[in-house]
Amino acid sequence: MKLARMSAYVLLLAPLATPAAAIAANRSDASALLKRGRYLVVIGGCNDCHTPGYAESGGHVPERDWLTGSRLGWHGPWGTSYPPNLRLFMQGRTRVQWIKFAHSARLRPPMPSWALHTLTDRDLSAIYAFIRHLGPRGHKAPDFIAPGQAPPEPYVSWPGPPHKATQ
């Protein structure tokens, strides 16, 4: 009789425990995803260009200021490009849109588009989750400047391809 009563309690209480366990598992999964995204942003060098002062300070910029874009232009034969504010960029996209973009984007130098193309959907999802987790902050980066137009300072002058020697 006691066993039957205990079994009945377990059956009645089991559904109440399942959501709590599922919530805890989801929190653990979300935490792992954010940690992975943060790790990929750091080792991928995203902050080097997309976070003002990051490279110059040896990475000593508070996380709250990460990935807000930069006014430092990259000038070369393609024109002048600016690292966009990834926090604002991600706010306007779904995870699926981000993954599609990352796998197909052909971006101007110095952005290594080929590096994005090689990331797995899982890694891109982690990057997306981390950047979205940071929330919107900062301002839009300056617009692209076409070739032949002088950019305002500050900018880095990128050399063109080497000239082929004539014989």
Span 55-89, pLDDT tens digits: 999 999 999 999 999 999 999 999 999 999 999 99
pTM, rounded to two decimals: 0.80
Strand, coil or helix: what is 119?
coil
Report the candidate in 93, 68, 92 with the shortest Cα–Cα distance to residue 82: 68
pLDDT at 156 over 70: yes
Could you tell me the CA-to-CA distances from 59 to 40, 42, 47 in Å, in that order? 14, 9, 8
pLDDT of residue 66: 98
Locate all alpha helices (DSSP H) within 44-120, ordered by sequence: 46-50, 86-91, 95-104, 113-118
Distance between CA atoms of residues 24 and 36, nearest Å: 18
pLDDT of residue 164: 75
